[in-house]
Structure 1
Amino acid sequence: MSENPDTTPDSATATRPQRQSDPHARAMLTLAGAMFRYALWPSVGTAVLGVVLFGLLRGGAGAFGAAVGGALACVSSLITLALMRATAHQGPHIGMAASLGGFVGKLLLLLIVMTLLRGVDALEPKSLGITMIAVVVVAAGAEALAFRRTKLPTIIPAGEE
């Protein structure tokens, strides 16, 4: 009697997302939560600082440009965390592919948005760019700090210590 491959436990679990028993998923969700908590207020604070600073230096166009740049950078960071959460239960290979694809997608999206905003006179382009870069750097630094401080399980193969 031959066994139907569609009903074997291995094929059933391979197509279904793994839930809370998956240590990789728990680690990814823990890391995504920590990265969000660590990056939220420094990113928003940097964006507000950019709005105030460029508002004083370049007027209303500078403040508006800084606000748009800060908002784009914050949304960009949130997309990364959303991808981490969405792919946490699908295994490390899918998570890495989503991270790389998300990174490339974010760069393309920012390039398209920046190209579309090039001719808008209400925006001061230098304030937009400088604020966006500052928020991205602060968010990336805060996310790296969250990664270092988050206690995640590490697997050490037998014989390698």
Structure 2
Amino acid sequence: MSAASDEPTVNPHAETVRRLASAMLRTAVWPGLATVAIAAVVATALVGTTGLLGALVGGAVAFGSSLLTIWLMRFTGGMSPHFVMVAALGGYVGKMLVLLVVMTLLGGVEALHRESLAFTMLATVMVWAGAEVVAFKRTKIPTIVPGS
């Protein structure tokens, strides 16, 4: 074996996807937290304690689902680019189904204001997704990685 073959091969696609996931996380956390905080203040002012609890739970669920997307990117980053796309689309559909089920299950809880929960969840997911788009544009990562 030569010295060159002893070195581990670097997957340029995996490095790119992981770098993008890190950039998305850094870019999305603060706007996501701000969205939850604003929603909690508005829900508390309009509805009271149940609004606050609904907004906080909705924000936590949205944050969890958004972090799951980042984890999925990191987990599948080293795989074939085609599989990464399948995982991303499947993850998106799965995330939407889980959010629907969670919203349905939590909607009947008396301690949570249903609309505060729903609007906070929706706003947080939308802001997070927008921040991910901004991060993608800022990283200037090519959509086709040479050598992959």
2:27 alignment partner, one of 16, 27, 38: 38
Q: 1:101 to 1:156 in 2, by over 3 A?
A: closer
Cα distance, 1:154 vs structure 2? 5.4
1:25 alignment partner, one of 5, 14, 36: 14
How far apart, CA to CA, are the structure 1 residues paired with 2:144 and 2:54?
A: 46
The answer on whether the counterparts of 2:12 and 2:145 sit within 8 Å (CA) in structure 1 is no
> Once structures 1 and 2 are overlaid, which stretch shifts more, 77-86 or 90-99?
90-99
> Does residue 92 in structure 1 map to residue 57 in structure 2?
no
AA at the equivalent of 1:76: S
How far apart, CA to CA, are the structure 2 residues paired with 1:153 and 1:76?
A: 26
Cα distance, 1:104 vs structure 2? 1.2
> Does residue 122 in structure 1 map to residue 111 in structure 2?
yes
Runs of 4+ residues deviating >3 angstroms: 153-157
Task: Give the TM-score taking structure 1 as reference length.
Answer: 0.81
**Greater relative contact order (Cα 8 A, min sep 6): structure 1 or 2?**
2
2:92 alignment partner, one of 91, 103, 114: 103
Report the counterpart of residue 121 of structure 2 in structure 1: 132
Task: Give the TM-score taking structure 2 as reference length.
Answer: 0.88
Cα distance, 1:153 vs structure 2? 4.0
AA at the equivalent of 1:142: A
How far apart, CA to CA, are the structure 2 residues paired with 1:44 and 1:112?
A: 23
Unaligned runs of 5+ in 2: 1-7
